[in-house]
Amino acid sequence: MDKEEEARGDLDTTDLELSMKNVDPKLLKHGNDADEAMKAFENMEGEAIELDEATNRRLLRAIDWHIMPVMCCVYGMNFLDKTTLSYASIMGLKEDLSLVGDQYSWLGSIFYFGYIAWEYPTSRLLQLLPLGKYSGACIVVWGAILACFAAAKNYPGAIAIRFFLGVFEAAVTPGFALLTSQWYTRNEQGRRVNFWYSFNGWGQIFGGLVAYGIAVGTEKNGSSIEPWKIVFLFTGLFTVTLGLLFLWIVPDNQLNARWLKKEDRILAIARVRINQQGIGNKKFKWYQVKEALLDPMTWAFFFFALIADIPNGGITNFFSQLITSFGYTPEQSLLYGTPAGAVEIVALLLNGYIGDKTGQRILTSLGGLLTATLGVILIVALPLENNVGRLVGYYLTQAFPTSFVALLSLISSNVAGYTKKTTVAALYLIGYCVGNIVGPLTFRPEDAPRYVSAEIVIIVCWGVCLFILLFIWFWYQKENRRKENIRSAPGYVRLENQEFRDLTDIENHDFIYTL
């Protein structure tokens, strides 16, 4: 990351001599199931831990250079692997699989049935099993499944492959959110989440260029297999390779990071103690599930994801066909879709930078949502002959992930208690799945090639999301004021090593919500 951030280094983490002698006595009820970090500090046998500014910067650089590149590449392929279907749809897949009616739409949606069916179980496994190893194994398996799509002969076979692709991709987003909260301080998390999520844009650019190259190359030189099958084989096998690399590089936590010295592993834990979240707890706690289900923010996150991803599901699966509806050829649509990825990259990087600089991730993310809404309005309102203007409108829609990513980063930084965090992340992504299931179905075959009704649905959904985001912002403001009043009350006390006792954000009155 940039030098200014390294220089700042979240200096709060250097204050390792905080007086941790007091805590709300009610927290003792759930304070016995300590985090993995607590065990590491107990083994220090009273040895002093010193973390100066230079060491903190050195550790941050090491973490960034080892973890972020492979996370970014995997997340780019996570997007590309889902949208390979869109490229294949104009490369002969529909004809070869004899798809009729809304069968293509269901191929887009069935992925999310697999995703939603396995989202909570996989979130539980991310907590129970070694985080790095389980995530890496899922990446390898989903890559292999994607490559198998090249062997699909008919609609039922394609449906089965898409379903299981969703099952194994379900681990990546909650797993990456956990990794980010495990390795980075709250002030560092927003930019990192935006950074690895921005590789969706790189995935779109890379995928469009690969698909265009395959389409043009096979047309000129011929091929023994259909071009769309080559696309699936390439993306699937490339994902398998990245999965094996992920398994080698990404540890389960700081304590078994082979690329950190033994003493640096403890310091890497110490630098994130300011998060008041620890680094992981394998014990499943029902009271944290109950708290998650009763927390209004859980449902605000859920309904935002559901409503926001109705547009996402439609655009992701139909963008190639949408571009051809503007008057471009199928080959041109593969190439002209790539600038949309650049728009997403710029929007997310700006969103992460400005959000962290101002400390207002939610309000900053509204810029991308409003830009995307303007893009859909251009597509609907401009005359049919204005192909360039409508194409620009499509490009602007690709700024929409800023708000989704802002809330994803807030799950990382604002939800404490390991069981609660995995529960909220699972519900958020279940909402994401439901939205993506509904999305392709709004693009009805009888509306082709304009899809006006789907475009109106998109505008309405993003309008509702605007109000949900403002509600979340006001709620966290109110909760921070309430906690400040509790901390300032006479007699309020804290417990030693409170941040490593796997307390929830509601239990821990010293936990401050990021806006």
Range picked from 129-143, 266-280, 434-448 for highest mean pLDDT: 129-143
12 occurs within a structural domain: no
Rounded CA separation 222/228 (Å) = 13
- Cβ contacts of 18 within 8 Å, gap of 6 or more: none
Rounded CA separation 152/453 (Å) = 32
Mean pLDDT of 430-440: 87
Reply yes or no on whether the pLDDT at 445 is more than 90: no
Q: What is the pLDDT of residue 21?
A: 37
372 occurs within a structural domain: yes
250 occurs within a structural domain: yes
Rounded CA separation 121/98 (Å) = 34
157 occurs within a structural domain: yes
Reply yes or no on whether the pLDDT at 139 is more than 90: yes
* Confidence band of 44 (pLDDT split at 50, 70, 90): low
287 versus 220: the higher-pLDDT residue is: 287
Q: Based on the structure, what is the number of domains in the chain?
A: 1
Collapse the DSSP code of 385 into the 3-class scheme (helix H, G, I; strand E, B; otherwise coil) and give the result. Answer: coil
- List Cα–Cα distances, 412 to 158, 177, 184, 277, in angstroms: 35, 6, 10, 10
Return the sign of the alpha-carbon dihedral for residues 171, 32, 500, 481.
Answer: positive
pTM: 0.80
Q: What is the CATH number of the domain that holds 490?
A: 1.20.1250.20
* Confidence band of 203 (pLDDT split at 50, 70, 90): confident
314 occurs within a structural domain: yes
| CB distance 466 to 369 below 8 Å | yes
7 occurs within a structural domain: no
Rounded CA separation 34/37 (Å) = 8
257-305 residue pLDDT tens: 999 998 898 888 888 877 767 666 778 889 999 999 999 999 999 999 9
23 versus 53: the higher-pLDDT residue is: 53
| Residue 126, token pair as written in the block | 């991310």
* Confidence band of 18 (pLDDT split at 50, 70, 90): very low
14 occurs within a structural domain: no
334 versus 116: the higher-pLDDT residue is: 116
- Cβ contacts of 16 within 8 Å, gap of 6 or more: 49, 50, 51, 270, 273
Q: What is the pLDDT of residue 410?
A: 92
40 occurs within a structural domain: yes
Provide the domain limits for residue 464.
20-500
Among 140, 126, 129, CA closest to 74: 140
